């Protein structure tokens, strides 16, 4: 297999995720786009681990998975609270920094 395969796939996933973060209005959708970005990074880590034949890339990928899980948990809790307070999770309406 070519080394570039994984890397290019990851790059494209990353770009798509960035597009989602920029374009989406719904906070949950933005969180999903962030998941795409994190997964593309994981793909890279695994690819590099395979190139170097070392377990460290795997370990890092697992770290990222754990952090991503925490991030989704907290992120969704915040979204829920915002929704409860404002009846909306449209990000462009959340431009004032006070409650």
Considering only residues 25 through 44, tell me which ones interact with another protein, judged by CB under 8 A: 25-33, 35-36, 39, 42-43
Q: Would you say 77 and 29 are in contact if contact means Cβ atoms under 8 Å apart?
A: no
Q: Cα–Cα distance between 98 and 48 in angstroms, integer? A: 44
Q: Least separation, in Å, of the C-beta of 38 and another protein?
A: 9
Helix (H, G, I), strand (E, B) or coil at 42: helix
Q: Least separation, in Å, of the C-beta of 46 and another protein?
A: 5
Determine, following the binding rule CB under 8 A, whether residue 52 of this chain makes contact with another protein.
no
Determine, following the binding rule CB under 8 A, whether residue 12 of this chain makes contact with another protein.
yes
């Amino acid at each position: 297999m070519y080394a570039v395969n994984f890397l290019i796939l990851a790059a494209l996933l990353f770009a798509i995720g960035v597009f989602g973060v920029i374009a989406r209005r719904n906070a949950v959708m933005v969180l999903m786009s962030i998941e795409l970005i994190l997964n593309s990074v994981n793909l890279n880590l695994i690819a590099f681990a395979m190139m170097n034949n070392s377990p460290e890339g795997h370990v890092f990928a697992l770290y990222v998975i754990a952090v991503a899980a925490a991030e989704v948990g907290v992120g969704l809790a915040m979204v829920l609270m915002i929704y409860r307070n404002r009846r909306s999770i449209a990000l462009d309406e959340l431009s004032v920094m006070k409650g």
